[in-house]
Amino acid sequence: MPHPTLRALLAAAVVAMVLPAPARADGHLPLSVGIGGFDITSQSSYVQGTTPLPVLSAHQSGQFGLEFSVGPQLHAGSYQLTAMYLSQQQNLTLLGPPNGQTTTITQIPVFLEDVSNEFGSVRLGGGLGYDFISYPGSPGGAQAGNGLVGDTFVQVGVGSSAALEAKYIFGQNAATSGIFIGVNARL
């Protein structure tokens, strides 16, 4: 059975394909794709529940992020469903072996976002959702660190179908909160 996030993305794609023509009158589907960098805001913390041993020190570093949204071009003042793929690295110094553990952590937060605040080419928004976290080798498996998540963002339009975006992602676990800065393009 596919991961719940994959099922949500497939459902969003199907909905976008069956939308009536007036929703796509400008020639674009109500989908957007983004790519950018992801940086952790609390770099000295770690994803709780990922190691059974006491942690002496931790360092988080963000890597990259991808974003998929459905709904923002349906009409002004609406909601969108957004799923992100965020990658980061976690370096832990543990009390006892194995010392100096480095692991890549993958987050897939899924948000329902309000995108109704538009001021010319600037769009403000935010939402709530759930963060699916994959941490290879953790005692909790893919469930370690999962939880509620929120976001707030600003997009500045550059051209007819692209925008620069800064998004702050925050959750119950400080080690998974961060800033995504990238570019979005409508399909």
Q: How much is the mean pLDDT over the chain? A: 77
Task: Note whether 111 and 149 are within 8 A (CB).
Answer: yes
* Alpha-carbon span 167 to 60, nearest angstrom: 18
Q: Are strands 101-119 and 122-134 parallel, antiparallel or unpaired?
A: antiparallel
For residue 33, the model assigns a pLDDT of 92
Rounded distance, CA 116 to CA 161, Å? 18
Percent of the chain with pLDDT over 70: 71
pLDDT: is 138 or 87 the higher one?
87
Q: Which residue has the higher pLDDT, 18 or 111?
A: 111
pLDDT of residue 112: 93
CA quadruple 12, 66, 90, 40: dihedral sign: negative
Binned at pLDDT 50, 70 and 90, residue 108 comes out as very high
Q: Rounded to two decimals, what is the model's pTM? A: 0.76
Distance CA 77, CA 58 (A): 42
pLDDT tens for 77-105 read: 678 899 999 999 888 787 766 667 778 88
- Do 12 and 30 contact (CB within 8 A), yes or no? no
Where do the domains of the chain lie? 30-156+175-186
For residue 115 the two structure tokens come to 């995108």
pLDDT exceeds cutoff 90 at 19: no
Residue 13's pLDDT band, with cuts at 50, 70 and 90, is: very low
| Selected residue with higher pLDDT from 78 and 36 | 36
Three-class SS state of 176? helix
Confidence at residue 66, expressed as pLDDT on a 0 to 100 scale? 95
Are 131 and 107 contacting, i.e. CB atoms less than 8 angstroms apart? Answer: yes
Reduce the DSSP state of residue 18 to 3 states and report it: coil
Chain segment 52-74, per-residue pLDDT in tens: 667 778 888 888 999 999 975 54
Single-letter residue type at 165? E
